[in-house]
Amino acid sequence: MENFRRVQIMDEDDGKCLPFNDLHPHVAQMRVKEGSKIRNLVGYALTYMGSEGTRQIVFSAYGRAVTKAITCVEILKRQVGGLHQITKVQYKALQEKWEQKGPEIKNPAPCLTVHKKIPSICILLSKYPLDPQEDGYQAPQSFHTREIGKTKFEILDISVSKKRKAPDSIEEGEG
């Protein structure tokens, strides 16, 4: 493959609908890519979920971006709270075209076409309850929130101020 270069990637599943039933018509779809910044994705998702009338958001990713999508979802669940989740894992079909590179060759090889199946994920987050019988369902989790300010420092003070007790008595003159 060192004599070839990739010239085109075609998504065979492009235009395919999301794998969820009963999606709200105004659902936001976040397509996470390998170069996406988590800060930007989460920032947009927070403003979207914070606005009135929004109910659902979908994160989708494939390949190396799957872990980034999961990270965004977990951050969003902690920030917003009370979100129901359905996760669907599947494979995405890609077709890559490669052509020969380098100097002109008398009998060049034809273009190569490579078909790949890459893991992908779609995660639906909803403010309203979803069907708990559906595969991949996760109920909302309750996170303990800490107050910022004096209470937080008191908690830290308690854990830091605990010292090991020295032995009650050290007998002198032994030996």
Nearest Cα to Cα of residue 91 among 7, 16, 154: 16
Per-residue pLDDT, 154 = 38
Total domains in the chain come to 1
Per-residue pLDDT, 165 = 52
Per-residue pLDDT, 55 = 86
* 167 assigned to some structural domain: no
pLDDT category at 143 given cuts 50, 70, 90 is low
* 171 assigned to some structural domain: no
* 60 assigned to some structural domain: yes
| CA 12 – CA 97 distance, rounded (Å) | 13
* 169 assigned to some structural domain: no
pLDDT category at 166 given cuts 50, 70, 90 is low
* Over residues 10-28, mean pLDDT: 76
Q: Both tokens of residue 141?
A: 């989790």
Task: Please state the pTM of the whole predicted model.
Answer: 0.71
- We report the CATH number of the domain holding residue 156 as 3.30.110.20
* 175 assigned to some structural domain: no
- Residues 6 or more apart whose Cβ sits within 8 Å of residue 118: 62, 63, 91, 92, 94
Q: What is the mean pLDDT of the chain?
A: 78
* 43 assigned to some structural domain: yes
* 172 assigned to some structural domain: no
Q: What percent of the chain has pLDDT over 90?
A: 29
The whole domain housing 11 covers 4-161
pLDDT category at 151 given cuts 50, 70, 90 is very low
Is 130's pLDDT higher than 50? Answer: yes
